Amino acid sequence: MSTKKTESTKQTTSAEDYTQEHLINFLRGATIEGLLNPAVAKSRLNAVENLFVELTDEERKDLRLVDVDVLCSRFHKLHDSSIRPEVLELYHKRTSAALVDYFSWLDDPGSFFSIGGDTIRKDKRYKASEKEVSFEQKALEEITLATSERAADIFSIPLREDKTVYVQNLPLDLTQKEALKIAKVIQALAQSQESEA
């Protein structure tokens, strides 16, 4: 399905427009049409493709039946402790936004504006401001973490405005004693640097 609907009048929709396939085509084509920031569209597509594995046949045929809370609950039951709550929360947020935006676009393509404020005007598509570039980089970083096989093992710790540290391979049953041991190693590194200065 092409996303190229530019009329300012409301669009006549069919039941087919509300299928899983049409939403995915919209997300894939939205960046070409300048409807969504590429990084945002990609992150939403990733969330949708992950969560929609749990759709019922009825929901696949009519996305208006989807309750994202229920969908996330099904997904969590299947994956249990292998998925971090913060990743599931991201999937929830992005899938909800994807559905709201898609329904809004179907209703009136001409006046469409993303709820996330991520619409890109076509005449400025290749002249992104610093804020847009920064947002895109952050979104791409989140996509990388969320789609990585090791995403459930990675924690990001913002240290400074321009520096984030990633901690990986912590066991799910990490004890206070083990956490303290890790903290002491990091503290030792910091003290070493201070003594060298």
DSSP states along 11-77: PP--GGGGSHHHHHHHHHHHTTTTSS-HHHHHHHHHHHHHHGGG--HHHHH-GGG--HHHHHHHHHH
Q: Is the pLDDT of residue 117 over 80?
A: no
Q: Which two tokens stand for residue 122?
A: 């076509």
Q: Is the pLDDT of residue 77 over 70?
A: yes
- Higher-confidence residue of 115 and 96: namely 96
pLDDT value, residue 65? 96
Average pLDDT of the chain, as a whole number: 77
Find the helix packing angle between 130-147 and 85-107, rounded to 10°: 120
- Average pLDDT, integer, range 146-169: 68
- Average pLDDT, integer, range 67-80: 89
The reply to whether the predicted model has a pTM over 0.85 is no
pLDDT 10s digits, 88-105: 899 999 999 999 999 999
Q: Where are the domains of the chain?
A: 1-147, 149-197
For residue 123, which of 14, 5, 33, 15 has the smallest C-alpha distance?
Answer: 33
State the pLDDT confidence band at 126, using cuts at 50, 70 and 90.
very low
- Average pLDDT, integer, range 140-155: 55
- Average pLDDT, integer, range 180-195: 74
* H or E element at residue 187: helix 176-196
